[in-house]
Amino acid sequence: MDDLKPILIADDHSLIRKGLRQVLEAQSAITVIEAEDGNEAIRLIRKHKPSIALLDVEMPKMTGFDVANRVLAEGLPVSLVFLTMFKDEQIFNKAMDIGVKGYVLKENTIAEIQQCIRTVSEGKYYLSPTISDFLIRRNSKLAAPAADSQGINLLTPMERNVMKLVAAMKSNSEIAGELNISIKTVQNHRNNICSKLGLHGAHALLKFATEYISRL
Amino acid sequence: MDDLKPILIADDHSLIRKGLRQVLEAQSAITVIEAEDGNEAIRLIRKHKPSIALLDVEMPKMTGFDVANRVLAEGLPVSLVFLTMFKDEQIFNKAMDIGVKGYVLKENTIAEIQQCIRTVSEGKYYLSPTISDFLIRRNSKLAAPAADSQGINLLTPMERNVMKLVAAMKSNSEIAGELNISIKTVQNHRNNICSKLGLHGAHALLKFATEYISRL
DNA sequence: TACTTGCTGGGTACTTTTACCCAGATAATT
DNA sequence: AATTATCTGGGTAAAAGTACCCAGCAAGTA
């Protein structure tokens, strides 16, 4: 077990690796490990379990994406940050789909990369400001659906109350307690809601409730 | 049943009611109903089921808050918008806690109120730009906790994979299918995760997983 | 080699949720 | 007065999740 989890830098350009390592190790109590291609990156992630891995997207043999897919498949506990030269919207979207925590353009400064590492290590996302356009467009696409919730209008007041508590992931007995009714009644309300909304199967109501709770 | 759901305006000042009604009915296909105090507001909400209720916070007898509490208790299907003269942070926070969808200062223009109605009717929130300070402060408070998730570090890769699918509200059989393992194995992983994390009871893991999914 | 860790599955018992059925009480509408 | 909608609860059965037990196998470590 290490004292502090290290940070991995995977880039085929030795100059970039050395430069980054120098800055990071000088200005913070961070240990850096280096990989010069994707295969080595995977091996080192498995072995040293770094908290963060900075991956160059454009690497020979195994790209940053290949590494990311591998990490996902094995469920390795590491936050991924992509480092790339290209401001490409499709690449960015694929990276977000895959769940990377940071996305930094190489045209940005080292200070940005440090900020990125700090932010990601707090569990938040960090994206280069220069690609915020992409993010906004992406969000407006995702927020689009919002339809098919007309069924909600069929619900009675009590059914709404039950649904709110379902969305809070309360169990039926907890709901019964809060509303001062019997568990049996709660179950009936749930069933009625499901049939009004056409929901079937395990957790179907819970999914719907958490998704549309803002419209209750 | 009405053709289109109306909008309720509750304010003790007749001048405000008439002014708002005129603008709203002139510029859009909206029906407005008026209430001059909180009691009447509740009665009209029950009867006409408006989609949105604009509530003056400062009303005699029954304030906007009293109306809001009543609406919540009965689970009436209406989106609440608070209209107030005072830029008070505590009042704002109480309003957000209670779940109002809009919060508009009377110092703002009528155009803002129209924008607010439009936004809220799409299921989104609308807050007067002049109180965005409050919202930011509030968010930083709420986002604060972020602790107690150290237990996550105890999880094995496979356990993480299972947990991600739990967070997506998949059933055990769905998880088993996606990971190509038996349901029994999934159940065992869940149990191991729960004991590592000290979780007990119904939906405990699901709650935890959805809350901390960003750290997986 | 021996040991540990993680993944895989089976067994068993209990609890919770889902999915139907039913009916009485109450309040509002026709 | 009759009808409808809503809330309330009971019954039953199947499916899913929770909570423990167990053991074999593979990989890495001491």
User: pLDDT tens digit string along B157-192?
Assistant: 889 889 988 988 899 999 999 889 999 999 999 998
Considering any atom of strand C, list protein residues whose CB lies within 7 Å: A 75, 171-173, 187-188, 190-191, 194-195, 199-206; B 47, 156-159, 179, 181-182, 184-185, 187-189, 201-203
Instruction: Report residue B106 as tokens.
Output: 């009377």
Confidence (pLDDT) at A101: 85
Could you list the beta-strand ranges (E) of A26-177: 32-35, 52-56, 79-84, 102-105, 126-127
A201 vs B74: CB contact, 8 Å cut-off?
no
- Each residue of B58-75: b (16+ CB within 10 Å) or e? ebeebbbbbbbebbeeeb
Residue A184 pLDDT class (50, 70, 90 cuts): very high
Residue B169, CB, strand D, below 7 Å: no
User: What does the alpha-carbon distance between residue B103 and residue A48 come to, in Å, rounded to a whole number?
Assistant: 51
Instruction: Give which of A48, A143, A98 is closest to B164, Cα–Cα.
Output: A98
Residue matched to tokens 């619900």: A155
Cβ–Cβ below 8 Å for B169 and A206: yes
Instruction: Give A142's pLDDT tier (boundaries 50, 70, 90).
Output: very low
Query: In the predicted model, what is the mean pLDDT of residues A53-59?
Result: 90
Mean of the per-residue pLDDT values for chain B? Answer: 80
A95-104, A138-147, B62-71, range with the lowest pLDDT: A138-147
Instruction: Answer whether residue A51 shows pLDDT above 60.
Output: yes
Residue A122 DSSP class: T
Nearest to B161 among A75, A124, A152 (CB): A75
Say yes or no to pLDDT of B95 above 60: yes
Task: Out of A122-126, B109-113, B134-138, B190-194, give the one with best mean pLDDT.
Answer: B190-194
A206 in contact with B, Cβ within 8 Å:
yes
Whether the CB of B90 is below 8 Å from some CB of chain A: the reply is no
- Band of the pLDDT at B138, cuts 50, 70, 90? low
- Which bases of strand D have any atom within 7 Å of the beta carbon of a protein residue? 5-11, 15-22
The gap from C-alpha A177 to its chain's centroid, in whole angstroms, comes to 35
Per-residue pLDDT averaged across B104-113, rounded? 77
What does the buried/exposed string (b/e) look like for B159-182 if buried means 16 or more CB atoms within 10 Å of the residue's CB?
A: bbbbbbbbbebbbbebbbeebebe
The label of the residue with tokens 């290949």 reads A66
Q: How many CB atoms lie within 10 A of CB B154?
A: 11
Contact A155 B122 (CB under 8 A): no
Max mean pLDDT among A27-31, A192-196, B131-135 falls in: A192-196
> Hey, what are B70's tokens?
């009543």
Protein-to-nucleotide distance from the CA of A197 to the C1' of C9, whole angstroms: 38
Question: Does A155 touch chain B if contact means CB atoms closer than 8 Å?
Answer: yes
Say yes or no to pLDDT of B147 above 60. no
Highest mean pLDDT among A182-196, B102-116, B189-203 belongs to A182-196
User: Which range (A65-69, A103-107, B119-123, B212-216) has the least confidence?
Assistant: B212-216
Sorting pLDDT into bands at 50, 70 and 90, what band is B82? very high
Hey, of A51, A96, A154, A160, which one would you mutate to test binding to chain B, going by the most B CBs within 10 A of its CB? A160
- The residue of chain B with its CA nearest to that of A76 is B157
Question: In this predicted model, which residue has the larger pLDDT, A216 or A193?
Answer: A193
Q: What percent of the residues of chain B are helix, what percent strand, and what percent coil, each to the nearest 5?
A: 55, 10, 30
Distance B178 CA to C6 C1' (A): 19
Whether nucleic acid strand D comes within 7 Å of the CB of A188, the answer is: yes
Of the partner residues B152, B157, B207, the one whose CB lies closest to the CB of residue A75: B157
